Amino acid sequence: MTRSANNPVLRWINKNKSGLTMNINRSRFKTYYRTIFLVLSLASGAGCGGGRALIPPAPPLTIAADSFQIKREALGRAIDTILSDSLLFQANRAVYIISLDSNREIYSLNRSSLMVPASVNKLFVTAAAYRQLGINHRFRTAVHGDSIDALGRIKGDLYLKGLGDPELKVADLEALAYRLRAMGLKQVTGNLIADAGYFDTTSFGYGWMWDEGPYAYNAPVSALSLNRNTFEIGLRPGSRPGRRPRAELNPRTAYLSIENQATTVKAGSQARIRADRSFTGAGDLVRITGTMAADQGLSYLVRTVTNPALYCGTVFREALAANGIRIAGTVRAGSTPPEKPELSWHVSPPLYQIIRHMNKESDNFTAEMIFRRLGNGQDSITPDPAKNNRLTEMLKEMGFGQESFRMADGSGLSRYNLCTAEQLVAVLSEAYRDPALRPELLSSLPIAGADGTLARRLTEDQHKGVIRAKTGTLTGVSSLAGFVSGPGSQTYCFAIMFNNYTSKANSVRALQDSIVARLARAAP
């Protein structure tokens, strides 16, 4: 049998060669003949068992480089260059970035190293509060006491019970007093009891510095708190040099008294006014010292109180008096008997609004109040394992071992806090992927160049609205963690943590901003 009989290609050519030849003009015959020859050669190689082909095999295919990999490597080199800055010489650095759309790692450096987080610790409080309390949770402050008799009296004590509301204001106490008057209350024959027993008696976070001073950023914590446990001092120069500056306290309350030892000096003089306070047993004595220039304008100082429950109780008693309700006794600290009925109450704004303020302004007091609430009123360091804070429980549920982090407070003021960049990204990512939590989480974070603690950072137009992140700062500690909308509407989650640097904080923040800006511009 001939080779063409076994080969279908050769059979077809033999059958149609006369017609094919007629349709090909002479000028193209040579080209056509060469083509037929190559086809026959291939066919003959295929038709005989293992005959050698005349055309060598094609070289192996080369796979085009992955564009994602190319971009990721380029971004990595750029971040490496930023992190090699001499400002971070001998500093500890941790950076972790992932894509939330592909769940792929974009960059990683020391992601599992324990670092002091500073105020990005509030992100753990945010996530745990949303999970455990719910975004619409409201904190209550209640008034308890016996029923009001026909003469408008309560025979016995009246109780003001705090349940950890971080937003209670003087106007809220005035509204409570008005409601009691509307109920017919005119007199309480006993005392006004300020009940702060819902939290333990620890006023400050574990590991806070003993010499921080009476400043608003480290206000004491109490289940019964008012005005974030702070008050204002308004100061104006005296009418001429040598006179005392004029001082006003807000709120005006018997809990606060003032001792003004400051002096007005001539216009143009360098001046420094100081204000401190000390507890006298019935309230705080505010001492004002130093000098104030005659041409200096109105200025305000904010200081903390030493006894939050007594402060709140005293202001409430004054609100009751303004509504015609007389307390026969005094304001005292104590507990509410369980059998005393609730007469009236106040509820806070919803939790998502409270957390929005906490994260935008990095409010330490609010973070500590929520942290204590998550710990069932207990401080974070307790010998009873059943009272461990829910932040710890949350991280354990996410697969992080108890020895891989330490939560000493909620605000991040404590240097005993330790966490990793990977844990921050994990907590943020989980909340982001929850459709019920994502809008509130994003709206709570400062927006670059627009508001909160990022209002003056990354102010270029191309960054506004695409970078939302929480800041964190202590001496030698700077952190930034949040989200970036990158090219192609891709969303990235990141955590950048620097510890133990000696340079200025603003310079170190600029390096963090450079990393985030690069991510927004050139992420894979």
- Say if residues 116 and 418 touch (Cβ distance below 8 Å): yes
**Residue 394: pLDDT band by 50, 70, 90 thresholds?**
confident
**Residue 20: pLDDT band by 50, 70, 90 thresholds?**
very low
The DSSP call for residue 508 is H
pLDDT at position 33 over 90: no
- Calpha distance 32→438 (Å, rounded): 68
Element of type H or E holding 17: helix 8-22
- Calpha distance 318→175 (Å, rounded): 12
- Calpha distance 521→461 (Å, rounded): 12
- Calpha distance 295→243 (Å, rounded): 13
- Say if residues 320 and 431 touch (Cβ distance below 8 Å): no
Provide the edge-to-edge strand list for the sheet that holds 299-304. 246-250, 230-236, 299-304
pLDDT at position 414 over 90: yes
Residue 130 class from Cβ within 10 Å (0-12 exposed, 13-18 middle, 19+ buried)? buried
- DSSP class per residue in 258-274: EEE--EEE-TT----EE
Cα–Cα distances in angstroms (integers) from residue 349 to residues 124, 230, 435, in the given order? 21, 20, 22
- Calpha distance 233→251 (Å, rounded): 9
105-155: pLDDT as tens digits: 999 999 999 999 999 999 999 999 999 999 999 999 999 999 999 999 999
Largest Cα separation within the chain, whole Å, is: 129
What does the pLDDT read at residue 46? 45
pLDDT above 90: percentage of residues in the chain:
75
- Calpha distance 294→271 (Å, rounded): 10
SS (H, E, C) 431-446: HHCCCCCHHHHHHHCC
**Residue 511: pLDDT band by 50, 70, 90 thresholds?**
very high
199-240: pLDDT as tens digits: 988 898 888 987 788 999 999 999 999 999 999 999 999 999
Q: What are the structure tokens assigned to 113, written together? A: 């190293």
pLDDT at position 65 over 60: no
Q: Which residue has the higher pLDDT, 462 or 454?
A: 454
159-196: pLDDT as tens digits: 999 999 999 999 999 999 999 999 999 999 999 999 99
Q: What are the structure tokens assigned to 337, written together? A: 């008997």
- Calpha distance 447→470 (Å, rounded): 9
What does the pLDDT read at residue 387? 44
The DSSP call for residue 463 is G
Of the candidates 418, 423, 399, 410, the residue with the CA atom closest to the CA atom of residue 493 = 423
Of the candidates 496, 498, 490, 497, the residue with the CA atom closest to the CA atom of residue 520 = 490
- Calpha distance 283→256 (Å, rounded): 6
**Residue 42: pLDDT band by 50, 70, 90 thresholds?**
very low
**Residue 5: pLDDT band by 50, 70, 90 thresholds?**
low
- Say if residues 4 and 14 touch (Cβ distance below 8 Å): yes
Cα–Cα distances in angstroms (integers) from residue 405 to residues 5, 354, 408, 418, in the given order? 80, 26, 10, 5
Alpha carbon of residue 235 to chain centroid? 34
What does the pLDDT read at residue 377? 57
Of the candidates 158, 176, 145, 169, the residue with the CA atom closest to the CA atom of residue 346 = 176
Of the candidates 60, 26, 20, 23, the residue with the CA atom closest to the CA atom of residue 39 = 20
**Residue 471: pLDDT band by 50, 70, 90 thresholds?**
very high
Q: Which residue in the block uniquely carries the two structure tokens 């206000």?
A: 219
- Calpha distance 124→126 (Å, rounded): 5
pLDDT at position 50 over 60: no
Handedness of CA 44, 48, 50, 52 (dihedral sign): negative
Cα–Cα distances in angstroms (integers) from residue 363 to residues 117, 133, 471, in the given order? 15, 19, 12
Of the candidates 362, 385, 382, the residue with the CA atom closest to the CA atom of residue 372 = 382
What does the pLDDT read at residue 39? 45
Residue 120 class from Cβ within 10 Å (0-12 exposed, 13-18 middle, 19+ buried)? buried
> Phi/psi at 159 (nearest 5 deg)?
-120, 130
Instruction: Identify the three-state secondary structure at position 267.
Output: coil
